[in-house]
């Protein structure tokens, strides 16, 4: 379920922008947090569910994500990215961590149907996606064995060891292919 962005209404005050919402969150406004949850829970749940693929576990992870957002609001830095993107990263990382803790990555339960964040954001008209600098196009220009490694590492958050186990190749081969891919991406980016 994708979410549309609307102004927040907090009592007599209306929060018209992200800066005001962040300010209120940093002041520990429970009402602002409730609005944040109502606004973003469906899209964050979608990100988590696409990674995990289990409804109950995804709901648990969503709750953990919002607890982390509440406790980490003071650390959010708008100069490093939008609030929405920051929350998407927290959700994605929490979902991957849950799979890692259960050993699910090695069982092949991470869905390989594209970049979760890119797919969720792409349809919403939201501000941030992983293709802002044309990274998807650049990765598509790589040889398939190199592009797959970049996709697993960058878009999925796999470690080199997890990539090696998933692709059933030695870790050294993964590292060599990653070095080659990064060099090629640099060349493509600098054209």
Give the model's confidence band at 103: pLDDT under 50 very low, under 70 low, under 90 confident, else very high. Answer: low
- What CATH number is given for 133-191 in this structure? 1.10.10.10
Q: Is the pLDDT of residue 171 over 70?
A: yes
Per-residue pLDDT band for 126 (boundaries 50, 70, 90) equals very low
Residue 50, SS3 per DSSP: helix
Is residue 3 within 8 Å of residue 42, measured between CB atoms?
yes
CATH architecture of 1-130: Orthogonal Bundle (1.10)
Does 7 score more than 60 pLDDT?
no
pLDDT at 168 (0 to 100) = 85
Query: Mean pLDDT in the chain?
Result: 75
Delimiting residues of CATH 1.10.10.10 domain(s) in the chain: 133-191
Q: Which is more confident, 107 or 97?
A: 97
Q: For 90-98, what is the mean pLDDT?
A: 88
Count CA atoms closer than 13 A to 99's CA, side-chain side.
26
Kindly report, as residue ranges, where domains of CATH 1.10.1740.10 are found in the chain.
1-130
Read off the pLDDT of each residue in 156-170 and give the average, rounded to a whole number: 84
Q: Kindly tell me if the per-residue pLDDT of 132 is higher than 90.
A: no
User: In 11-108, where do the E strands start and end?
Assistant: 13-15
| Tokens matching residue 56 | 């109950």
Chain-centroid distance, C-alpha 141: 23
What local confidence, expressed as pLDDT, does residue 122 receive? 43
């Amino acid at each position: 379920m994708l979410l549309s962005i609307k102004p927040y209404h907090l009592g007599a005050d209306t929060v018209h922008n992200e800066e005001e919402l962040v300010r209120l969150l940093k002041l520990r406004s429970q009402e602002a947090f409730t609005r944040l949850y109502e606004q973003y829970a469906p899209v964050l749940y979608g990100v988590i569910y696409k990674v995990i693929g289990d409804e109950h576990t995804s709901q648990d992870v969503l709750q953990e994500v919002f607890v982390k957002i509440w406790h980490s609001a003071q650390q959010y830095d708008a100069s490093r990215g939008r609030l929405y993107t920051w929350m998407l990263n927290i959700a994605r990382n929490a979902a991957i961590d849950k799979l890692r803790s259960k050993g699910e990555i090695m069982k092949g339960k991470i869905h390989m149907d594209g970049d979760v964040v890119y797919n969720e954001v792409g349809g919403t008209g939201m501000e941030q996606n992983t293709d802002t600098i044309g990274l998807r196009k650049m990765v598509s220009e790589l040889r398939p064995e190199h592009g797959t490694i970049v996709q697993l590492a960058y878009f999925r958050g796999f470690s080199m060891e997890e990539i090696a186990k998933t692709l059933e190749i030695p870790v050294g081969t993964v590292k060599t292919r990653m070095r080659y891919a990064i060099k090629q991406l640099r060349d493509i980016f600098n054209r």
